[in-house]
Chain A
Amino acid sequence: MGVDIAFWVLAIVGIAAAIAVVSLRNVFHTALMLILCLLSVAGIYVTLSADFLAAVQILIYVGGISILIILAIMLTREVQHGSLSNKLRIPVFIVAAVFLGVLIFAMVNSPWQISSLPPVEPTTPALAGKLLGEGGFILAIEAAGVLLLASILGAIVLVREK
């Protein structure tokens, strides 16, 4: 019962914030709404017993990426009141609507595997075993690490003075 209420509150707040992100004119307010949206996603992770995922979501998206987005807004001049509509308005709306339709169709028609087992507690050892242990996803993690390193090096090369 409590979890249902929490889910609906978080879902409504999250979707309202997401709509505000694309409809508000003030770019700074938009960034704040994005933070609210990401926070409510973290809240939904908590209701799903994914506590580690929720903490990491807040740490990386709210503490890292949103802050950098705000910093970028600060460093850019004259964007506080950006224009919303331009020539691409209608084509973009059509593409977005089709994409939404495809997503909803996929979600409704997928045979989701619903487990009736209670969630694993504590979650962290299980996650660590899956990610770093034998037969886990260690290759994918290493690949992601190399990818991130390469992109950081690329950024440094781009902005470096001669």
Chain B
Amino acid sequence: MIITSPSVNSLLNPQTLAADWPGGFWWHWVLFTIIVIAVVIVMVMGYIYMARRQIGRMQSRVGPNRTGPFGLLQPIADVLKVLLKEGITPTNVDKTVYWLAPIVGLFPVFSIFAVMPFTNGGMLANLNVGILYVVAISSISTVGMFMAGWSSSNKFSLISAMRVVAAVVSYEIPVLLSIAGVLLLSGSLSMNDIVLAQDIPFILLQPLGFIVFFIAGLAEISRSPFDLLEADSEIVAGFHIEYSGIKFALFYLVEYGEAFLLSCLISTLFLGGWRGPWLPEWMWFIAKGVLVWFVMVWLWATLPRVRIDQMMALAWKFLLPLALINLVVTAIQVLTLPEGSLWVMIPVNFVITAVLILLWSKNSKLGWGRVEV
């Protein structure tokens, strides 16, 4: 036996536990597990409601407004409807993989919230490799989508699964590089320490990194304009085309859970997480997340869907070089600027961002219905 010491407890030990916390590690664990699951499910329903109402407004419609006051009960009605539907399993599916796929897709979404700081230290586990854990676990969800696409024995769902993989493999790189810029400034991988380091929100110090992370994150979770995997006009509904009833509901939960996850990540990494005056910390955290979701739905209501080749070109020719330049520039600034003069980065980086984006957009031609990115 080569195990050297009992270390799981020390690894998962929440270092910033409040002094008056009732009970020990396991109470903390149980309580935060319940909080995480409840928050994710409630926020997913809130996000669905918000998206439908907001898109309605932006398209000069009303949106759902009949169920409850302002249509607030609409998501609950939707959930009940989809849970009560008959679960149909097609004949030719690979049964085991087909049944496992929604679960494999769902568990990363919940597990990632274990390291999400809702308040100062208010998290399930303050891992010292927090952000790396987030990136690593989120890649498992792709496996779930691929299992769904393959086991359905449907050509459309297989095409959709291939698109997921192509998108995730390409956009993982700009995501990681833009996170690296944040890490250079924070000097820690722990999510709580990243928030603590943001006396100036990193969106001001890292405008280019923020833009790259936002676009690449949208593509990673396949939200519009990168929702190629469920392009309804081309491949009907994507990888969950053969799913119905509760299994479809799980995939729906994954989809919006990932949107909630991305908005929380952006709020933590770039917008200062739980920090803010007057309001309680968790309220700032949620409010910033909702703000990011507002922008995402805005883009959803505005932009047309990109083609697959445009999507690949955007990742490799636009985001990757910009993310690399951003990383190098940030590294030089962190090494050369004296202590306490980080604010110098704000104007410099905004100018660099504007110049680089203008330069690189010269490479993309638009006109006569022919678009090359």
Contact = CB atoms under 8 A, between A and B. Distances in A.
A121 interface: yes
Interface stretch (A12-20, A60-68, A81-89): A60-68
25 contacts: A3-B7, A32-B97, A35-B143, A46-B8, A46-B11, A48-B7, A49-B11, A51-B133, A56-B132, A56-B136, A58-B136, A58-B140, A59-B136, A62-B139, A63-B140, A67-B169, A70-B150, A71-B169, A74-B158, A74-B162, A114-B2, A115-B4, A116-B5, A122-B128, A123-B128
A37 B342 CA distance: 45
Nearest to A119: B7
A3 B97 CA distance: 30
Interface in B163-183: 165, 168-169, 172
Nearest to B190: A122
Contacts of B1: 7
A6 interface: yes
Interface of A: 1-4, 6-7, 26, 28-29, 32, 35, 39, 46-49, 51-52, 55-56, 58-59, 62-64, 66-68, 70-71, 74, 112, 114-116, 118-119, 121-124
Interface residues of B, number: 37
Given A59-B139, A124-B128, 17 more contacts: A3-B8, A7-B1, A28-B150, A29-B97, A32-B97, A46-B11, A47-B8, A48-B4, A51-B127, A55-B132, A58-B139, A62-B136, A63-B136, A70-B146, A71-B165, A122-B128, A123-B128
Nearest to A70: B146
Contact of B8 (A6, A59, A118, A121): A6
B133 A67 contact: no
A32 to B, nearest CB: 7
B152 to A, nearest CB: 12
A59 B132 contact: yes
A71 to B, nearest CB: 5
B142 interface: yes
Nearest to B7: A49
B2 A67 contact: no
Given A51-B11, A123-B128, A124-B189, A63 B6 contact: no
Nearest to B127: A51
A124 B129 contact: yes
A125 to B, nearest CB: 9
A2 to B, nearest CB: 6
A121 B10 contact: yes
A123 B168 CA distance: 28
B6 A3 contact: yes
B227 to A, nearest CB: 20
B142 A48 contact: no
A78 to B, nearest CB: 15
A73 to B, nearest CB: 9
Contact of B139 (A46, A67, A71, A123): A67
Contacts of A64: 139, 169, 172
B51 interface: no
Given A35-B143, A71-B162, A118 B2 contact: no
